Amino acid sequence: AQSVAQPEDQVNVAEGNPLTVKCTYSVSGNPYLFWYVQYPNRGLQFLLKYITGDNLVKGSYGFEAEFNKSQTSFHLKKPSALVSDSALYFCAVRGQSNDYKLSFGAGTTVTVRA
Amino acid sequence: GAVVSQHPSRVICKSGTSVKIECRSLDFQATTMFWYRQFPKQSLMLMATSNEGSKATYEQGVEKDKFLINHASLTLSTLTVTSAHPEDSSFYICSATGGQGEGQPQHFGDGTRLSIL
């Protein structure tokens, strides 16, 4: 079985401050990890993924995420948040098998205030 | 690249109507497509997985006769909500993956807001 936990329903930060959205996962074997962002009434947009290799992954719009195997975490970060980063963020995981099904976290609503 | 188009974006119809939603991969061949349902301020609930040319695999609790899925080509999957009722009102989202290369992400359509009166 595979699962994702996003412990924070909401994250509020001021524009220009660092942004962190937390994610921990559980999966058999090595994971594929993903972050997606969803704006109101839209589908999910892919931000970044971890497959293997460097633990620090860089993605779209200045976002990055750090894979930590010992802590089974994949936290999303942005050094300087923008008001336009306000959205719903989902972490997702799947095991390295032929089954492409993802397990999603409950989502974290990010609000960046001007 | 990796664009998924979902149509229509919004449907409002009377109870008892059947509604078809299309999901197309525009610039890649989608070996596998997924259909999700999302309730307000909640995560995505996987309804079914469809592979081109074969029957869809439904998740537990999803009625296959209610939610008909067809994946007739490598670029098109359709979800038909048959005899829709108000409880079927929801946001439906499709995704697709090309399946080539390690750790390919799912690419999502923009969703369909279904409202049954």
Question: What band does B85 get if pLDDT is binned at 50, 70 and 90?
Answer: very high
Q: Please name the member of A43, A49, A96 whose beta carbon is closest to the beta carbon of B111.
A: A43
- Per residue of chain A (114 residues), give pLDDT as tens: 889 999 999 999 999 999 999 999 999 888 999 999 999 888 899 999 999 889 999 999 999 999 999 999 999 999 999 999 999 999 999 887 757 889 999 999 999 999
Task: Give the A-side interface with B, CB within 8 Å.
Answer: 32, 34, 36, 41-46, 49-52, 90, 96, 100-102, 104-107, 109
SS3 A40: coil
Single-letter amino acid code for the residue at A108: T
Single-letter amino acid code for the residue at B16: G
Chain A residues with CB inside 8 Å of B95's CB? 43-44
pLDDT of residue B101: 67
Average pLDDT score over residue span B82-105: 88
Please check whether residue A6 is in contact with residue A93, taking contact to mean a CB–CB distance below 8 angstroms. Answer: no
pLDDT above 90 coverage of chain A, percent: 83
- B105/A44 CB distance under 8 A: no
What's the CA gap between A21 and B104, in Å, rounded?
Answer: 22
- Give the tens place of pLDDT for each residue, A36-48: 999 988 889 999 9
